[in-house]
Amino acid sequence: MKKLTSLSATIMFVLALLIISSPKTNSQSLSDKQITDYKNVANQFVRKALEDRKGYFLLKELTDIGPRLSGSPNSIKAIHWAEKKMKELGFDKVWLQPVMVPHWERGNIEKAKIVSSKKINNRNLVVRALGGSIATDAKELQGKVISIKSFEELREKQELVKGKIVFYDRPLDQGLYSGGYGGVWNYRVFGADSAAKYGAIGVLLRSITTKYDNNPHTGVVFYADQVKRIPAVSVGYLDSDFLRQALKEEPNLEVNLKLNSKWFEDAPSYNVIGEITGSKYPDEVITVGGHIDSWDLGVGANDDGTGCIQSMEVLDLFKRLNIAPQRTIRCVLFINEENGSRGAEAYGNFADSSIQVTIAAMEADAGSGTPRDFSVDSDSLTIEKIKSWLPILAETGILEVAKGGSGADVGRIKSAKARIGYGPDGQRYFDYHHSDNDQFSIIHPREFELGSAAMATLVFMIDREGL
Amino acid sequence: MKKLTSLSATIMFVLALLIISSPKTNSQSLSDKQITDYKNVANQFVRKALEDRKGYFLLKELTDIGPRLSGSPNSIKAIHWAEKKMKELGFDKVWLQPVMVPHWERGNIEKAKIVSSKKINNRNLVVRALGGSIATDAKELQGKVISIKSFEELREKQELVKGKIVFYDRPLDQGLYSGGYGGVWNYRVFGADSAAKYGAIGVLLRSITTKYDNNPHTGVVFYADQVKRIPAVSVGYLDSDFLRQALKEEPNLEVNLKLNSKWFEDAPSYNVIGEITGSKYPDEVITVGGHIDSWDLGVGANDDGTGCIQSMEVLDLFKRLNIAPQRTIRCVLFINEENGSRGAEAYGNFADSSIQVTIAAMEADAGSGTPRDFSVDSDSLTIEKIKSWLPILAETGILEVAKGGSGADVGRIKSAKARIGYGPDGQRYFDYHHSDNDQFSIIHPREFELGSAAMATLVFMIDREGL
């Protein structure tokens, strides 16, 4: 090949840029050069995220506000903090989308103790009201306890349940790679209703956790309109062990329970939305988001302060690297994922009725571990296209692109061509989940920041290659 | 298809077992049924490991002994503990392979302070002797400090080095996914020698770490015979920042250093070896191992108590699940990986000259994170064969089989058909590496136990499918 003149070289460079930045319907054809160039971008995202730890320090600011349950003053503080921060980061548009949310408060009394026992009278149990639980009538509630391991057993023993407190003594199955949450969460959500049908007066739920400690988790409890509402609490894992043993020795012991939790009118709240407007296809939107609300235990660092800040940092990484996206990249911090999904519903309705098209909607709500995979809800050709980018995504720690569930919030954007869930390593996830353990101190800066880089890389690929 | 008679069904079941257990040279042909059966085995390994946490509690016992530097009384205690434990676990053969190892002790004095400064006189710096460093002559050593960022800079400034203490102020590059150890370890190993050539009197090395704390790491320092030996210490990361700033303000400050580390005669020690003898091919050996020695800071929980116990647990998982291996599965706990590799050399010589054949040798020496990959040193057909097992390995968290470096210990088994390195997530690895941070408390039980399950699964596949 002849030596290129300077002009020819310039033309070829411009052509190369056009090639790397032209939208395509089929990406199987990435050249070695393109792959190398894209890998370089991925590595720049990784370097910026890891060196600066900017998202990590933003997460500190957010979690310093405290827990952010929907309807709480803290949640409003966090929303305004995020709005202000997005403006400071220089996003092109920043706005709040109003939405009414449920408003429940835990109150300041949540006590349980073993009574009517010869050996261990007045022994306290560490409990936390499940989210949305009613208070105990007449200040307290007392009754015998029946231990139940499954809904099947509940049905079989329905005659024995009346007037008693049901203790769902069902540990999360630790023997599964994926964690055993799938086999227990429905006892938290539907356990009170199921027990109330047979006349139970209250529910004690063995805390759902992979950590053998005494910090009970919380999470939503569901009441059907036609069933009497009964108070429901989770019991620390260690105290659940204690109660199990106590019931073996004295089946007739009673537990006394006090809760003063309270429901309020729906409260005004907001989704926080910020975007960098696309330079070439402003009406094609790539959404990336987490949920700004958290449970009221811990500070929601892992669930889902992480996803919020990583989503904000995706946009900020584009800015820090001076990359102008061709499509609009929009960060959405959804309110009320934990107990109502009102934010997701509102944003989904907005997006589905907009003149703009959501070509991809990515959600980060699986914790702060090292990147492992993306789960994609889309047609098989689109999934194959994203899979073909694995050599590039692998620079950020992503080793798999799988077909599968994306997430509760982006799931409401029905019109999105692809809904994507970011999948970090989750072995520690249920050590913290919805409990006092979910603190900023459990976030590892490198693992957390790699999440921002992995998401930024996939957003960049979608921006440049289309879907 | 006609309904099978009971006898036909029995014959087919036996045939199926024969098929699943027959050695092959090409595994691309695993049937869906075989894949399902193998996945079931993988899930049983996962369940047993995660539910029992037996390895985790064994690791507690091992690390309770304390750090295990080659030649130390603790290392001998740990060797005898492991030998006894392997016998209690019911391995078919357990023995110690004698090997002489280097013997160095840190001593009880390692002090550094800034002196001859107007502003910050007698300010202590937290330092740890690098492994193998000589003591300071005449009780202490004092000199001006020259800050050096690279060997290149050292050469350029060689005229200025004479009579001074060289401060290698070279932070690990945090901007890389893989961690920046590759760009700095050689300053620890060769920094003293390189500086001594130009007349330096001592070395201060900014500690190699991803954690911004003040617990300096250690690790081997190399002295060539023809160069004068000078004392070398690592300086806590935070104190390195302090020293950097102090040198900017007062380039003529001096540092005073005291070490009373000491070299002794080579000491007798051992590799610990235990095996389950193969039922069908006893002379085909699958080796799995870690290194029993550790540095003398922390307790070597991550490096490499983890690999030792995971290797022992691989054999124990076969026993707990009543799986009799067809080939011999041998656990080797190598002594002296950290500062001499004498154990690896001795075992490699033994294996390479044995009538038994090592068909695979797996090493676990990359920490206790969640499983991600195996790196395989072998011919491409063998690597492809192992890759074809990914759907099975994925049940344990393994998402990649890559060609590449296996490890320092199994690297000495030249005759092995495949040398394999187990690759867990390593984002936290250099938070602990060779420092007081390497404690049992940093081990996450699920992540750790999944390592045992991942290794057991690959060992099982090699046992049943051959290589």
Query: CA of A373: which chain B residue's CA is closest?
Result: B399
Side-chain half-sphere exposure of A56, counting CA atoms within 13 A: 19
* Cβ separation A399–B372 shorter than 8 A: yes
Q: Domains in chain B and their CATH numbers?
A: 27-104+265-465 (3.40.630.10), 107-260 (3.50.30.30)
Q: Which residues of A touch B47 (CB under 8 A)?
A: 175-176
* Cβ separation B450–A175 shorter than 8 A: no
Q: Which residues of B touch A175 (CB under 8 A)?
A: 46-48, 50-51
Side-chain half-sphere exposure of B70, counting CA atoms within 13 A: 33
| Candidates A47, A174, A397; nearest CB to B175 | A47
* Cβ separation B399–A373 shorter than 8 A: yes
Q: Which residues contact A167 (CB under 8 A, 6 or more apart)?
A: A145, A146, A147, A148, A203, A204, A205, A206, A235, A240, A243, A247
How many angstroms separate the CA of residue A213 from the nearest CA in chain B? Answer: 14
**How many A-B residue pairs are in contact by the CB < 8 A criterion?**
70
How many angstroms separate the CA of residue B250 from the nearest CA in chain A? Answer: 28
Tokens of B397: 């968290």
| Candidates B51, B177, B373; nearest CB to A396 | B177
Side-chain half-sphere exposure of B33, counting CA atoms within 13 A: 8
Neighbouring-strand partners of residue B373? B400, B423
Q: Which residues of B touch A40 (CB under 8 A)?
A: none
| Candidates A174, A369, A395; nearest CB to B50 | A174
Q: Which residues contact A80 (CB under 8 A, 6 or more apart)?
A: none
Model pLDDT for residues A135-155, shown as the tens digit of each residue: 998 778 999 999 999 999 999
* Cβ separation B370–A370 shorter than 8 A: yes
Interface of A with B (CB under 8 A): 43, 46-48, 50-51, 174-177, 210, 369-370, 372-373, 395-397, 399-400, 425, 427-428, 444, 446-447, 450
Q: Which of A211, A222, A203 is nearest to A172 (CA)?
A: A211
Q: What percent of chain A has pLDDT over 90?
A: 91
In this structure, are residues A313 and A456 in contact, taking their beta carbons and an 8 Å threshold?
yes
* Residue-level pLDDT at A458: 98
Interface with chain A: mutation pick from B44, B47, B50, B390, highest number of A CBs within 10 Å = B50
CA torsion through residues B46, B47, B50, B53, sign = negative
Q: Which of A336, A410, A325 is nearest to A374 (CA)?
A: A410
| Candidates B177, B397, B450; nearest CB to A397 | B177
How many angstroms separate the CA of residue A461 from the nearest CA in chain B? Answer: 19
H helices, E strands: number in chain B: 14, 16
Tokens of A39: 């890998």
In this structure, are residues B429 and B397 in contact, taking their beta carbons and an 8 Å threshold?
no
- Distance of alpha carbon B397 from alpha carbon B320, whole angstroms: 21
Q: Which of A390, A72, A381, A65 is nearest to B400 (CA)?
A: A390
CA torsion through residues A281, A283, A287, A292, sign = positive
* Residue-level pLDDT at B27: 46
How many angstroms separate the CA of residue A224 from the nearest CA in chain B? Answer: 36
Model pLDDT for residues A68-102, shown as the tens digit of each residue: 999 999 999 999 999 999 999 999 999 999 999 99
CA torsion through residues A403, A407, A410, A415, sign = positive
* Residue-level pLDDT at A146: 98
- Distance of alpha carbon B288 from alpha carbon A103, whole angstroms: 56
* Cβ separation B176–A47 shorter than 8 A: yes
DSSP3 helix / strand / coil % (chain A, rounded to 5): 40, 25, 35
Q: Which of A368, A395, A367, A377 is nearest to A458 (CA)?
A: A395
Along the 467 residues of chain B, how does pLDDT read in single tens digits?
A: 334 444 454 444 444 444 454 444 444 589 999 999 999 999 999 999 999 999 999 999 999 999 999 999 999 999 999 999 999 999 999 999 999 999 999 999 999 999 988 888 899 999 999 999 999 987 789 999 999 999 999 999 999 999 999 999 999 999 999 989 999 999 999 999 999 999 999 999 999 999 999 999 999 999 999 999 999 999 999 999 999 999 999 999 999 999 999 999 999 999 999 999 999 999 999 999 999 999 999 999 999 999 999 999 999 999 999 999 999 999 999 999 999 999 999 999 999 999 999 999 999 999 999 999 999 999 999 999 999 999 999 999 999 999 988 899 999 999 999 999 999 999 999 999 999 999 999 999 999 999 999 999 999 999 999 99
| Candidates B51, B175, B425; nearest CB to A370 | B425
In this structure, are residues B162 and B199 in contact, taking their beta carbons and an 8 Å threshold?
yes
Residue B188: count of CB within 10 angstroms of its CB: 27
In chain B, what is the greatest distance between 2 CA atoms, to the nearest angstrom? Answer: 97
| Candidates B373, B400, B446; nearest CB to A427 | B446
Q: Which residues of A touch B449 (CB under 8 A)?
A: none
* Residue-level pLDDT at B13: 42
* Residue-level pLDDT at A120: 85
- Distance of alpha carbon A149 from alpha carbon A169, whole angstroms: 5
* Cβ separation A450–B370 shorter than 8 A: no
Query: Which residue reads 């097992």 in tokens?
Result: B389
* Cβ separation B47–A447 shorter than 8 A: no
* Cβ separation A174–B400 shorter than 8 A: no
| Candidates B46, B48, B399; nearest CB to A372 | B399
A79 vs A58, A75, A85, A227, CA distance in Å?
Answer: 14, 6, 10, 35
* Cβ separation B174–A444 shorter than 8 A: no
How many angstroms separate the CA of residue B46 from the nearest CA in chain A? Answer: 7
Rounded-to-10 torsion of CA B323, B325, B328, B334: -40
Q: Which residues of A touch B444 (CB under 8 A)?
A: 427-428
* Residue-level pLDDT at A28: 57
- What is the ipTM metric for this complex? 0.93
Output phi, psi for A259, to 5 deg.
-135, 140
Tokens of A31: 């050249």
Residue type, A399: L
- Exposure string for B297-318, b = 16+ CB within 10 A, e = fewer: bbbbbbbbbbbbbbbbbbbbbb
Query: CA of A401: which chain B residue's CA is closest?
Result: B399
Interface with chain B: mutation pick from A44, A45, A48, A50, highest number of B CBs within 10 Å = A50
Q: Which residues of B touch A210 (CB under 8 A)?
A: 446
Name the burial class of residue A402, with classes exposed (0-12), middle (13-18) and buried (19+) by CB atoms within 10 angstroms of its CB.
middle
B94 vs B79, B335, B382, CA distance in Å?
Answer: 12, 16, 30
In this structure, are residues B92 and B277 in contact, taking their beta carbons and an 8 Å threshold?
yes
**DSSP sequence for A322-384:** TPPPSEEEEEEEES-TTTT-HHHHHHHHHHHTSSSEEEEEEE--S-SS-EEEEEEES-HHHHH
Model pLDDT for residues A158-194, shown as the tens digit of each residue: 999 999 999 999 999 999 999 899 999 999 999 999 9
Q: Which residues of A touch B176 (CB under 8 A)?
A: 46-47, 50
Which residue ranges of chain A lie beneath pLDDT 70? Answer: 1-28
Determine if the pTM surpasses 0.90. yes
* Cβ separation B370–A425 shorter than 8 A: yes
Which ranges in A220-332 belong to alpha helices (H)?
237-249, 306-320
- Beta strand B110-115 with B327-334 is unpaired
Q: Which residues contact A437 (CB under 8 A, 6 or more apart)?
A: A211, A213, A215, A298, A431
Q: Which residues of B touch A370 (CB under 8 A)?
A: 369-370, 425, 427
* Cβ separation A428–B450 shorter than 8 A: no
Query: CA of A173: which chain B residue's CA is closest?
Result: B51
In this structure, are residues A227 and A203 in contact, taking their beta carbons and an 8 Å threshold?
no
Q: Which residues contact B252 (CB under 8 A, 6 or more apart)?
A: B116, B144
Residue type, A108: N
Residue type, B291: H
B244 vs A379, B188, B235, B249, B253, CA distance in Å?
Answer: 56, 18, 11, 9, 11
| Candidates B175, B370, B450; nearest CB to A46 | B175
